[in-house]
Amino acid sequence: MSLYLEHFGLREPPFRITPHTDFFFTGANRGPTLDALIYAITQDEGIVKVTGEVGSGKTMLCRMLLERLPADVESLYLANPSLSRSEILGAIADELGIPADGKTTHSMIRTLQDALVERYAAGKRVVIMIDEAHAMPAESLEEIRLLSNLESKATKLLQIALFAQPELDERLAANDMRQLRERITQHFNLAPLKAGEVGNYIEFRLRAAGYHGPNPFTARAVDMIARISEGLSRRINILADKSLLAAYSSGSHQVDAAEVKTAAQDARFAPIQKKTAGPFTPLLKLAIAVMMTATLGALAYALWPRQPATVAPPPAVAAPEPATASEPAIALADLPPLTAQHAAQFDAWLPGAARENYFIQLTSRSAAHGDDIENFLARAGKTLDPAALRVYRSGPPENVQIGIIFGDYPSRATAWAAIRSLPEPIRRMRPYPRPVSTLQ
């Protein structure tokens, strides 16, 4: 493997299938979904559910959530879905440092409630994250519902996040699951990457692993990987890794159709079984359509302080396309001075910008955090060309998002080269190139 890394100038393997948070891809709605999950958990949103096909990135999202939750949130992670009702209580008690001592279920719940009340009084909140929740026995799912009832006069004492395959939706559709179903207040779905997103994903992983050269994957290779993987990140990783190995074995530094074909023959993926739409599909779509506008700022945590929300939480969501210059989500006059200046620059630039060009997405943030946006623009303007620093507005009037972008480049490669020359504090935010066409 060391020769393989040296051959392509890599610091570490870029396409390992075990979750590694340094390789978290914030595109394809992953970053906004993470941010919305953090919002839902810290705002007492009850039970939160995240569904996605095998290999869509649920465990990676869960690991990111564990890293990004505020310090006042105590996180419990259960990776074994086959625990019985009593075993779940025992596992939670063990995570909280509570001795079980053969207590009855009723006694254990009382003990858990007392421990949670103590943590709440100390300014702590507790969230339990359950992976592979679709495989939980019915009685264990019922215990989750009962645990969600633990509350003080003002708030839930235990937040619950379920990560599962789409089969969980089918189970929740059953009549005997309606009580649990109604406790779930936020629904998220990790959809497979679209064909146009696969190339950005592959290049992001390569750069995160230390790659500095031109993209070794040809457009034809990326198209094949997108089609064969069906957009699932784990399959993309496997195909990309095997394709690089095939190129290395032949002494080539480029991955084309032949290498991907060899990788696909070795991987032998079975087609994903398409499921018929269940009764909750429209609700899930609505959830993704709303929750992505909640907060588009996961990348900004490195520079922006987290602040408690001062507005009522939005309904569950996914992100809208950025507003165009002709349809601003908020008027310039309603923006703070520096934000308004760079928004005006965006409005003047976009109509004449070439669709095939690229810009650098620095970060996104809710317009409710106007002071943070102003501070960031002031700092960025000291190290970047202020004339190339632009702001776009998106989302409905009640939940406007501010996107901050930089530059205008003739190709993705030149945009990546520009990213490598950005100041270190901004590079730590993991900026990435996007085509101008996504804004027009």
Transcribe 17-72 into DSSP letters: SS--GGG---TTTHHHHHHHHHHHHHTT--EEEEEE-TTSSHHHHHHHHHHHS-TT
Mean pLDDT of 238-247: 95
Residue 147 CA: distances (Å) to CA of 25, 38, 74, 94, 106:
33, 20, 16, 16, 12
Over residues 330-375, the pLDDT tens digits come to 777 778 889 999 999 999 999 999 988 999 988 877 777 788 788 8
pLDDT at 403 over 90: no
Name the residue with higher pLDDT: 297 or 19. Answer: 19
Residue 106 CA: distances (Å) to CA of 82, 89, 100:
21, 10, 12
pLDDT at 52 over 70: yes
Residue 172 CA: distances (Å) to CA of 145, 164, 243, 375:
12, 12, 40, 45
Residue at 275: amino acid letter: K
Compute the mean pLDDT over every residue in the chain, rounded to the nearest whole number.
Answer: 82
Please report, rounded to a whole number, the percentage of residues in the chain having pLDDT higher than 90: 37
Within 10 Å of residue 202's Cβ, how many Cβ atoms? Answer: 27
Residues whose CB is less than 8 angstroms from the CB of residue 14 and which lie 6 or more positions away in sequence, other chains included: 23, 205, 206, 208, 209, 211, 240, 241
Name the residue with higher pLDDT: 400 or 348. Answer: 348
pLDDT confidence of residue 273: 65
CB 31 within 8 A of CB 64: no
Coil, strand or helix at 374: helix
CA distance 203 to 211: 9
Mean pLDDT of 134-146: 89
pLDDT confidence of residue 18: 87
pLDDT at 289 over 60: no
pLDDT at 315 over 60: no
SS (H, E, C) 281-309: HHHHHHHHHHHCCCCCCHHHHHCCCCCCC
Lookup: tokens for 352: 């004449």
155: exposed, middle or buried (C-beta count within 10 Å: 0-12, 13-18, 19+)? exposed
Name the residue with higher pLDDT: 288 or 6. Answer: 6
CA distance 310 to 366: 12
Coil, strand or helix at 127: strand
Q: Nearest-CA neighbor of 39 among 368, 400, 308?
A: 308
pLDDT confidence of residue 310: 35
Domains of the chain and any CATH numbers: 2-18+194-267 (1.10.8), 29-190+276-288 (3.40.50.300), 320-438 (3.30.70.1070)
Eight-state DSSP code of residue 151: B
Mean pLDDT of 258-277: 82
pLDDT confidence of residue 286: 42
CA distance 230 to 210: 27
CB 233 within 8 A of CB 55: yes
Eight-state DSSP code of residue 156: B
CB 47 within 8 A of CB 160: yes
pLDDT level of residue 288 (50, 70, 90 thresholds) = very low
CB 377 within 8 A of CB 390: no
pLDDT at 209 over 60: yes
Angle at 109 between CA 108 and CA 112, to 5 degrees: 85
CB 259 within 8 A of CB 364: no
Which of the listed ranges 101-105, 167-171, 400-404 does the model predict with the highest average pLDDT?
167-171
Mean pLDDT of 60-85: 86
Over residues 181-202, the pLDDT tens digits come to 988 988 999 999 998 899 999 9
Lookup: tokens for 178: 């309606």
Residues whose CB is less than 8 angstroms from the CB of residue 107 and which lie 6 or more positions away in sequence, other chains included: none
CA distance 230 to 236: 8
| Max CA pair span of the chain | 71
pLDDT confidence of residue 110: 87
316: exposed, middle or buried (C-beta count within 10 Å: 0-12, 13-18, 19+)? buried
Residue 370 CA: distances (Å) to CA of 102, 295, 400, 401:
53, 13, 11, 10
